[in-house]
Amino acid sequence: MSSPPVVLSIAGTDSGGAAGTAADLTTFAALGVHGACVITAVTAQHTLGVDAVHAVPIGVVEAQLEAVLGDLPVAAVKTGMLGSAEVVRQVARRCAGIPLVVDPVLVATSGAVLGGREVREAYLRDLIPAATVITPNVDEAAALLDRPGVDSRQAPDLAKELAGHGCAALVTGGPQWRPGEVIESCTDWLATPDGEVQCFDHPAVRTSNDHGTGCTFSAALAALLAHGHSLTDAAESAAHHTTTQLIAGSAWRLGRGRGPIAHTTNRGNDERP
Ligand SMILES: Nc1ncnc2c1ncn2[C@@H]1O[C@H](COP(=O)(O)OP(=O)(O)O)[C@@H](O)[C@H]1O
Ligand SMILES: Cc1ncc(COP(=O)(O)OP(=O)(O)O)c(N)n1
């Protein structure tokens, strides 16, 4: 039996098990790649918000990167919460030349700020030019480009402008669905540095259990690239995987806020072993 591709997640932990490293490693397992992980920050987090953040010292981040990259044949890297400009630059240096999916985690759905101005500048200057693809939602794309007040109608323009910084840009359009709302579809926009823009539409899932959705999507994208899919195929299949997991968790009642996207692979109670 051949060995699976190895994908490295560089991210923060979420104690509630919805986002960050938990989402990345479970998504990697579901899509048949071996997941390695470098932890950049420890968060005390639940379905209502982030209570505390402890940044892992830069030397310990470096030691983790060395341990993984010096030993395992890493086929792709996915970054999530990096937390400081220093770590953003370190990742750019260490991961240049490896297929790299950058999810620029700046603000959680709860509104907690997970990366400030210096972090945004380091993304633009150092990490985006080294990346294969960046996967911001509309708010993150607007924050990176310093365009306050834009909305989802500007998503294709934001994608195009980000792609001008040297990597493909996939601006995601997940809604924050609330009971009673009718949202039929979600649209993601993929722009490449040659100026081409593609649109991917898929049916929206009516669920407020969507904490960790962005991490799941970008981890799936990295796993699919590691399997050798083209970026276009990977974008479509990552959205399909994310939608499947949103459906699987849509009736769950976990926590008092926006519950987790499902990370189970047996689809919950009905198929428990
Ligand atoms: N309710 C939903 N139904 C279907 N797809 C969704 C839903 N919410 C998000 N997605 C999809 O999940 C992926 C991640 O999107 P998004 O929610 O924008 O990320 P983030 O969590 O970073 O805001 C995208 O492909 C998006 O279209
Ligand atoms: C530790 C950590 N990393 C990333 C996020 C953001 O997660 P995301 O998948 O974008 O989902 P939401 O939190 O926005 O629902 C996080 N919260 N914590």
**Which whole number is the average pLDDT over 81-92?**
96
Ligand 2 neighbour 109 (Cβ under 6 A): yes
CB 113 within 8 A of CB 106: yes
ipTM score:
0.97
If one compares 35 and 176, the residue with the highest pLDDT of the two is: 35
- Between the CA of 173 and the centroid of ligand 1 the distance, in Å, is 6
- Between the CA of 49 and the centroid of ligand 2 the distance, in Å, is 10
Look at residue 97 in the predicted model and tell me its pLDDT. 96
CATH code, residues 6-266 = 3.40.1190.20
Which band of pLDDT confidence, cut at 50, 70 and 90, is reported for residue 109?
Answer: low
**Which whole number is the average pLDDT over 86-107?**
95
In this prediction the pTM is 0.96
Q: Quick one: how far is CA 196 from the chain centroid? A: 22
Interval 14-52: pLDDT, tens:
999 999 999 999 999 999 999 999 999 999 999 999 999
Look at residue 129 in the predicted model and tell me its pLDDT. 96
**Which whole number is the average pLDDT over 166-177?**
89
CA separation for the pair 155, 151 (Å, rounded) = 7
Domain ranges of the chain: 6-266
Question: What number does the ligand 2 atom closest to the CA of 214 have?
Answer: 9
Look at residue 7 in the predicted model and tell me its pLDDT. 99
Which band of pLDDT confidence, cut at 50, 70 and 90, is reported for residue 99?
Answer: very high
- Between the CA of 96 and the centroid of ligand 1 the distance, in Å, is 27
